[in-house]
Amino acid sequence: MHIRTRTAATTAVAAAAAAFAVLPAAGTSTAASTAASGGVEYTYADAWGRETTAVLVDPEDGACIALPELAHTPAFRIDNRSTSPALLYGDKGCHGEPRAKVLPGDGSEVATYAVRLVPDED
């Protein structure tokens, strides 16, 4: 998994690229694996109050991923550009019930400190 950070000015271009990146190639299988393809974008206010977007690239299914830039302020927007549903948590350890479940291609404005991708149960 890699993390990329950018400011709001480049978010639209990156969102379009991320959406395109999760489309399967013709004739390929989308069978479940241990890592989701694509990414999970999250938007937060940085230390200077600027809106910033980062991307978790190809996060591992099942792993609790604390969003690294977030110390005291949660992410306020999550866009799931991966191939797996994302569970959003209000703490960094994925404890308790998730605050929201975001399906691939959807977004949420739930305050979030951590994400766990889960294999699709279909």
Instruction: Answer yes or no: is 27 within a domain.
Output: no
pLDDT of 29 reads 36
Overall average pLDDT of the 28-43 stretch = 67
Instruction: Answer yes or no: is 56 within a domain.
Output: yes
Buried b (16+ CB within 10 A) or exposed e, 57-95: bbbbbeebbebeebeeebbebbbbbbbbbbbbbbebebe
Overall average pLDDT of the 11-32 stretch = 40
Calpha distance 36→6 (Å, rounded): 22
pLDDT of 122 reads 56
Instruction: Answer yes or no: is 111 within a domain.
Output: yes
pTM of the model: 0.71
Instruction: Answer yes or no: is 80 within a domain.
Output: yes
Domain that holds residue 50: 2-21+35-117
- For the stretch 55-111, pLDDT in tens is 999 999 999 999 988 878 899 999 999 999 999 999 999 999 999 999 999 999 999
- Number of structural domains in the chain: 1
Instruction: Answer yes or no: is 30 within a domain.
Output: no
